[in-house]
Amino acid sequence: MGVLGLGTMGSGIAQTALESGIEVFAVELNDELLSKGAARVKDGLERRVRSGKLSSGKSSSLLSSLSLSTDISSFRNCDIIVEAVFENAETKSSALASIGRIAGEGTIVASNTSSISITLLSKGLKYPGNFIGMHFFNPVPVMKLLELVRGYLTTNETVEKAKSIGEKMGKEVVEVRDYPGFVSNRVLMPMINEAAFALMEGIARKEDIDRVMKLGMNHPMGPLELADFIGVDVCLDIMNVLYSGFKDPKYRPCPLLVNMVNAGRTGRKSGEGFYKY
Ligand code: 3HC
């Protein structure tokens, strides 16, 4: 498996693939990002060792199946290449164009996009039938779901191959069609957005909004805590994708999310979102 981009999602995908016995070729833009990404994979495996799920010997041998490079041509012999770069349509399209120059007719090319249309991203690819969305969830080694997104041109063969790779990675695979937000974010993000409205309107304190959903619905995290975990900016971007994709006012982003993003309060990664870290 080739993995382009070793950020939070890419390193989680790489770690999960390694743990399932898949050899991984990871590519990043430069050496600094590559070593940061490799450290994330190593930390993830060490976490598994600490929780007794992996021996330290096994963890080192898995790491030896990880090849690191800044040269995309190292994907040359991969059966599947997963793009996990920054969530922006232009960035993803240009990353996919580079992958497209390496990937042969028999190679599956997948994007881990959380909201960008797979059909849109397939534009310009030589083999759009081989292209599919593989939407993993954070933290990838822990979350059971793989949302497989079938673009307008994705072939049945590609769906079947991607499904079997996902299952090999220990995921429960759910196939969905390519409409804004797919299923996961079409359902999740309006909930987070509505929680932000409830806070903005002063209906309850942030801690209490989260407690309602944790204690009443058995969610592991409340919606505001989860927004911080995902990134408030990511949540806002996805609400905008739903709003512009469906042209339906029910998806209008909460102005509090807009203010928070403009203020740089994007959640855990910035040290503050709804909560301080
Ligand atoms: N990376 C790897 N493993 C992690 C982890 C991380 N960042 N965080 C926690 N874990 C592991 C722990 O090691 C532990 O494993 P173990 O059972 O083998 O010891 C297990 O997860 C449970 O962790 P903890 O006991 O430390 O903590 P919690 O029980 O509170 O669980 C959580 C942490 C798994 C993050 C849990 O709070 C949770 O499930 N939260 C919801 C996460 C969620 O909804 N993710 C999806 C976000 S949406 C998305 O990704 C899609 C995008 O398109 C927006």
Which residue among 156, 177, 198 closes a domain?
A: 177
| Whether residue 8 is found in the same domain as residue 24 | yes
| Whether residue 143 is found in the same domain as residue 193 | no
Which of 8, 19, 47, 172 to mutate to test ligand 1, by most ligand atoms within 8 A of the CB atom?
47
- Distance (Å) from CA 241 to ligand 1 centroid: 26
Tell me the pLDDT of the chain averaged across its residues: 97
| Whether residue 113 is found in the same domain as residue 212 | no
Residue 61 is assigned to a structural domain of this protein = yes
| Whether residue 240 is found in the same domain as residue 128 | no
**CATH for 38:** 3.40.50.720
Atom of ligand 1 nearest to the CA of 231: 54
Q: Whose CA is nearest to atom 7 of ligand 1?
A: 139
User: What pLDDT is recorded for position 224?
Assistant: 98
Q: How confident is the model at residue 124 (pLDDT cuts 50, 70, 90)?
A: confident
- From 212, 182, 176, select the one nearest 194 (Cα to Cα): 212
Residue 277 is assigned to a structural domain of this protein = no
User: What pLDDT is recorded for position 256?
Assistant: 98
- Distance (Å) from CA 227 to ligand 1 centroid: 14
User: What pLDDT is recorded for position 94?
Assistant: 95
- Distance (Å) from CA 234 to ligand 1 centroid: 18
Residue 200 is assigned to a structural domain of this protein = yes
Q: Residue 122's Cα: distance from chain center in Å?
A: 18
Residue 75 is assigned to a structural domain of this protein = yes
Residue 66 host element (H or E): strand 66-69
Q: What is the pLDDT of residues 92-110, one digit of tens each?
A: 999 999 999 999 999 999 9
| Whether residue 199 is found in the same domain as residue 144 | no
Q: Is 271 helix (H, G, I), strand (E, B) or coil?
A: coil
Q: The domain containing residue 88 runs over which residues?
A: 2-177
Q: How far apart are CA 267 and CA 135, in angstroms?
A: 21
Q: Whose CA is nearest to atom 53 of ligand 1?
A: 114
Residue 276 is assigned to a structural domain of this protein = no
| Whether residue 59 is found in the same domain as residue 173 | yes
In the 8-state DSSP scheme, what is residue 253? P
User: What pLDDT is recorded for position 85?
Assistant: 96
User: What pLDDT is recorded for position 140?
Assistant: 98
The residue assigned the tokens 């059971």 is 144
Residue 162 is assigned to a structural domain of this protein = yes
Which residue among 130, 161, 177 closes a domain?
A: 177
pTM: 0.96
Number of neighbours of residue 41 by Cβ within 10 angstroms: 26
Furthest-apart CA pair in the chain: how many Å?
56
| Whether residue 35 is found in the same domain as residue 157 | yes
| Whether residue 156 is found in the same domain as residue 218 | no
3-state helix, strand, coil in the chain (%, to 5): 50, 15, 35
Q: Which residues participate in catalysis according to the annotation?
A: 114, 135, 147, 185
- Distance (Å) from CA 248 to ligand 1 centroid: 32
Q: Whose CA is nearest to atom 28 of ligand 1?
A: 220
| Whether residue 122 is found in the same domain as residue 194 | no
Looking at the predicted structure, is the pLDDT value of residue 160 above 90? yes
List pocket residues of ligand 1, CB cut-off 6 Å: 44, 47, 51, 53, 114, 137-139, 141-143, 185, 220-221, 226, 230, 234
Burial of 2: CB neighbours in 10 Å, binned 0-12, 13-18, 19+: buried
**CATH for 197:** 1.10.1040.10
| Whether residue 65 is found in the same domain as residue 94 | yes
Q: What is the pLDDT of residues 174-208, one digit of tens each?
A: 999 999 999 999 999 999 999 999 999 999 999 99
| Whether residue 28 is found in the same domain as residue 81 | yes
Q: What is the pLDDT of residues 243-253, one digit of tens each?
A: 999 999 999 99
| Whether residue 142 is found in the same domain as residue 218 | no
Cα torsion for 186, 235, 174, 86, to the nearest 10°?
Answer: 130
Per the structure, how many domains does the chain have?
2
